[in-house]
Structure 1
Amino acid sequence: MKHNALTRRLAESPLAPVAALPVRFGDAARHNARIARRSAAWLFRSREHVHYTYDLEPLNLEHLAWFVATATGTGVDAVRGYLREVKEDDRLAAVIGATLARSPRRATTDPVVRYGRRLGWYAFVRALRPEFVVETGTNRGLGSVVTAAALLRNGSGTVATVDLDDRAGELIVPPYDAVIEHVTGDSLDFLAGPVARRRPIDLLLVDTGHTPEHERAELDAATPLLAPGAVVLATKSYCWPELQRWAERQQREFLYFHEKPRDHWYPGVGIGASFPALVRA
């Protein structure tokens, strides 16, 4: 009791910041030591230097299941099943792994298939059963083939994907290329062109990540192309507010899921989702 009373008096005194400094320093040091250990292990274990791939923490996967379930109006147990489905898809993992092994960039590529937030993309496609998906920002094509795998499971649908980099899309190979239309060029030109306007967009994946202004322009360009009930997903909602602002202007809902990578120093990004307004009491 004397110790508690002394601690209480000290906490209320002008000396409190000085007295608390060792405790605060210890908390910060332990946190930074954990990050340093993870970073050191990653430096020896991984060869990646950009566009990091990783698995998600088990609890984070459960959060992802509830996020997709809420945004799509699907039962959470069904969504859990979709997440298991893609993680257990041996053919998808084998095709991606074999293609990465042959890549000209294999020296800076890990020979391990890790999906991260793209598990959520797969679950969205399986839950929504879109006929036309548009992806801005192809990069190597990991998200494109994960989306294609979900479309093939659904039995219908195509995805059109665009990227400025002429090296993009190296993972778009059979059998997944059968439902993918890959375009090299600017996303805004693409959204104004015939491919994106061929039919209403049921699911839009915004993943170019250039600037907030560019994402805003993409959303504005895509707005008249969206099907009734379309869902829009964006990767950069963790660092700028374009999707939520667009959702508010369009009187739509917005939710955000943040990744928690497993055994990785990188803090992760996430998925911003905008979907039709819910009926509120």
Structure 2
Amino acid sequence: MDGTNFRRAIARTRLAPVAAFPKRLMRVAKHDARVISVSAKWLLTSREHHNYTYDLTKLSREHLAWFVSVTCDVPVKQVRTYLTEIEEDEPLRQHIEQATAASDRRGLADRRVRYARRIGWYAIVRATRPKHIVETGVDKGLGTCVLASALLRNAADGEPGRVTSLDINPEAGYLAKSEPWASVVDLVIGDSLASIKALDRPVDLFLHDSNHSTGHERREFQAVSPKLAPGARLLTDNVTVTNVLAEHAEKTGRRFLAYRETPAQHWYPGDGIGIAW
């Protein structure tokens, strides 16, 4: 009996789990060694403790392009152009690096600029040309800068817009307080639900990225519903944790789709984008 037939014979006996154990162990060990290596490198080189930043794998970036193409009804080639725009925006990149280095919070932030799924936010804004975006949850303002950069490009094309960025932390948004990005940003400090209820103009694009509890996320979508403009889109940065936006979409007669990112060379499994339209 040759080796192949012998292995097949063993596979049909009670010894199969024992015989397969060394190979299974090697596969697990190889996987864990890679994860430990990536994690150790991150611990030694990164300063971040939350809102992790990273690049996407090439495959994940391509899936993101198709996600935006389908949900915004634009050709995927155009979406790829938008993704390249934000990735090659050198003035924004230099600003973020310099502002991070000068910030009081530089001890908890990486200077290297990596947008992850936020390039998808940018592409959605470029594709849909919203007049008014509302973003809840700002932190240092990286995502706000990405949204503002898209709005500035839209304005150059003759379709201006603004982003209202809501956060309860008075120190939030330091990256978005410089020109030209600040020229299209209204930073509001306070409770997101109260701030949403106080909005005085229709919302074309709403992004939940604040308190990620299920109850709060649900209350934000409920609060913004009467403020939405016709054809408005709803986004959540919490799609890998809750099903809130999908449930809201079903109740309100919208379509829903989710994208999950894959970080390149990072221990964190990634977040995603949920969109209802």
Provide the aligned C-alpha RMSD in A.
1.3
SS at 2:207 equivalent: strand
Determine whether 1:45 maps to 2:45: yes
State the alpha-carbon separation in 1 of the partners of residues 238 and 195 from structure 2. Answer: 20
- CA deviations 1:221-248 (Å, max 9, x no partner) are 1112111211111111101111111111
| Partner residue in 2 for 1:278 | none
Query: Would the aligned equivalents of 2:138 and 2:165 in 1 still touch at CA under 8 Å?
Result: yes
| Partner residue in 1 for 2:100 | 100
State the alpha-carbon separation in 1 of the partners of residues 215 and 139 from structure 2. Answer: 20
Residue ranges of structure 1 left out of the alignment (5+ in a row): 276-281
Query: Would the aligned equivalents of 2:96 and 2:111 in 1 still touch at CA under 8 Å?
Result: no
State the alpha-carbon separation in 2 of the partners of residues 249 and 3 from structure 1. Answer: 59
Moved more, 83-92 or 220-229: 220-229
Determine whether 1:181 maps to 2:181: no
Q: Which amino acid aligns with 1:248?
A: E
SS at 1:160 equivalent: strand
In 2 relative to 1, CA 160–11 (structure 1 residues): closer, same or farther, beyond 3 Å? Answer: same
- CA deviations 1:71-112 (Å, max 9, x no partner) are 100100000000000111111111111111111011222111
How far off its partner does 1:59 sit? 1.6
Determine whether 1:237 maps to 2:239: yes
SS at 1:238 equivalent: coil
Q: TM-score, normalised by structure 1?
A: 0.93
- CA deviations 1:126-170 (Å, max 9, x no partner) are 000000000011111111111011001000000001111111111
Report how many residues are paired.
272
How far off its partner does 1:18 sit? 2.4
Residue ranges of structure 2 left out of the alignment (5+ in a row): none
SS at 1:101 equivalent: helix
State the alpha-carbon separation in 2 of the partners of residues 143 and 39 from structure 1. Answer: 25
State the alpha-carbon separation in 1 of the partners of residues 137 and 53 from structure 2. Answer: 16
- CA deviations 1:161-213 (Å, max 9, x no partner) are 111111111111211111111111111111111xx2x2221111110143011
Q: Given the alignment, which residue of 245, 250, 253 partners 1:251?
A: 253
State the alpha-carbon separation in 1 of the partners of residues 237 and 8 from structure 2. Answer: 46
State the alpha-carbon separation in 2 of the partners of residues 26 and 18 from structure 1. Answer: 14
Query: Would the aligned equivalents of 2:204 and 2:228 in 1 still touch at CA under 8 Å?
Result: yes
State the alpha-carbon separation in 1 of the partners of residues 88 and 212 from structure 2. Answer: 33
Q: Which amino acid aligns with 2:175?
A: L
Query: Would the aligned equivalents of 1:209 and 1:236 in 2 still touch at CA under 8 Å?
Result: no
State the alpha-carbon separation in 2 of the partners of residues 269 and 72 from structure 1. Answer: 20
State the alpha-carbon separation in 2 of the partners of residues 227 and 17 from structure 1. Answer: 60
In 2 relative to 1, CA 6–251 (structure 1 residues): closer, same or farther, beyond 3 Å? Answer: farther
| Partner residue in 2 for 1:13 | 13
Identity over aligned residues, as a percent? 47
Determine whether 1:58 maps to 2:62: no
SS at 1:13 equivalent: coil
State the alpha-carbon separation in 1 of the partners of residues 235 and 23 from structure 2. Answer: 42
State the alpha-carbon separation in 2 of the partners of residues 55 and 15 from structure 1. Answer: 44
Q: How does 1:119-130 map to 2 (within 5 A)?
A: 119-130=119-130
How far off its partner does 1:42 sit? 1.4
Query: Would the aligned equivalents of 2:39 and 2:266 in 1 still touch at CA under 8 Å?
Result: yes
State the alpha-carbon separation in 1 of the partners of residues 222 and 10 from structure 2. Answer: 57
SS at 2:23 equivalent: helix
